[in-house]
Amino acid sequence: MSETEAVGFDRLALENGVFETRLTAKYVARKPYEKKDPRVVKAAIPGVVAEVRVKPGHAVRRGDALLVLEAMKMLNRIQSPLDGTVKAVLAAAGEKVAKGQPLVELE
C-alpha cells in the first residue's frame, strides 16, 4: 500500500535543497545542454544534400552558400555563419543526412 517504506530513493538537487525522491524515465533521458560551435555547420532539418559548393581550403565569407540541402520539398542554401576557411566537407552530394548531422567544418 504505502510506498514510503521503500528504500533506495534517488537524490534530486533543487534550488531549495536536496530531496529524496524517484527520478522519472523522461527526466533521466533529458538531453544535457550542448554549447553550439559556430565552426561546425549542422543540418537543421533532415534531408538530402543536393549540391556541395565548397572544398577544403576554400575561403568563405559569412552568408556564402556552403551546400544545398533538399529538405521538406525545398532547396535550402546552407550559408556560412562566419568568415573563414573550409576545413572539411563532411557530406557528399546525394547523401541523406539526419537532423543535427555535421555537414561542413570551418576554421
Contacts with another protein, residue ranges (CB under 8 A): 1-4, 9, 12, 14-27, 30-33, 46, 72, 96-99
To the nearest whole angstrom, how small is the minimum distance from the Cβ of residue 44 to another protein?
12
Residue 66 neighbours by CB under 8 Å, 6+ apart:
41, 52, 53, 54, 60, 78, 79, 80, 86, 103, 104
Residue 47 or 60 with smaller CB distance to another protein:
47
Dihedral pair phi/psi, residue 49, rounded to 5°? -70, 115
Residue 23 or 82 with smaller CB distance to another protein:
23
To the nearest whole angstrom, how small is the minimum distance from the Cβ of residue 39 to another protein?
22
CA distance 17 to 77: 49
To the nearest whole angstrom, how small is the minimum distance from the Cβ of residue 47 to another protein?
8
Q: Which position has the grid cell 559556430?
A: 38
